[in-house]
Amino acid sequence: MREVAISFAGVPHRLEVVTNTGGVTWINDSIATSPERAVAALRCFQPHTQTLILLAGGKDKNLPWESFADEVIARVDYLIGFGHAGAMIMEKVQERAQFARHRAPNSALVQRLDEAVALAGRVAGMSSVAYTGGRAGTTEKPDTMSTVVLLSPGGTSYDAYRDFEERGEHFRTLVTRWTTERTLTE
């Protein structure tokens, strides 16, 4: 039993580590097809212990986003909205930040997941730009701090994919391509 527990690699698309390359850990949580599931993923990361870049979007199911927005404000350094719900998610985060008089994370809106991965890779490469730990009083990222890129969309995949599995597979492919190309050019 112990050997099984030690060798268990996890479940695909559920906080699945795709790769850890160049100090950047890419995590696939494509199964997070509701704001509540994305909140659960975000709560796995302690604020100000790593730079957290979140890819959120997909298709909205008309669920409440307030708790999600609160967690994004507390834990995320850079938010990349994509797909049908990307702009709405970013708007909700901005509204909650203004309401609570907190600073919203840096953010950008793209249309597709491939654009989100490419932008996340560029931002991760400039992670001192992404780091907004200024909420705690400093905008200087500690040298020992790692970077995490998390796909935990909060929305369904139906705006661009057959299901969350297809979206997760595409994310894996995009991340592998992105990290391989960067490694070859360095």
Residue 171 lies in a domain: yes
Identify the three-state secondary structure at position 54: strand
Q: Is the pLDDT of residue 58 over 80?
A: yes
Check which CATH number belongs to the domain holding 36 and give it.
3.90.190.20
Q: Is residue 5 part of a domain?
A: no
Say if 4 falls within a structural domain: no
Burial of 143 per CB tally in 10 Å (0-12, 13-18, 19+): exposed
Residues in the chain: 186
Q: Containing domain of residue 165, as a range?
A: 12-185
Structural domains in the chain (count):
1
Q: Within a domain: residue 170?
A: yes
For the stretch 144-183, pLDDT in tens is: 678 999 999 999 999 999 999 999 999 999 999 999 887 6
Degrees (nearest 5) of the Cα angle 60, 15, 85? 15
Tokens of residue 23, six digits: 């100090």
Q: What is the DSSP string of 138-159?
A: --PPPTT-EEEEEEEEESBSTT
pLDDT band at 140 (very low <50, low <70, confident <90, very high): low
What is the pLDDT, as a whole number, of residue 131?
Answer: 47
Q: Above 60 in pLDDT, residue 126?
A: yes
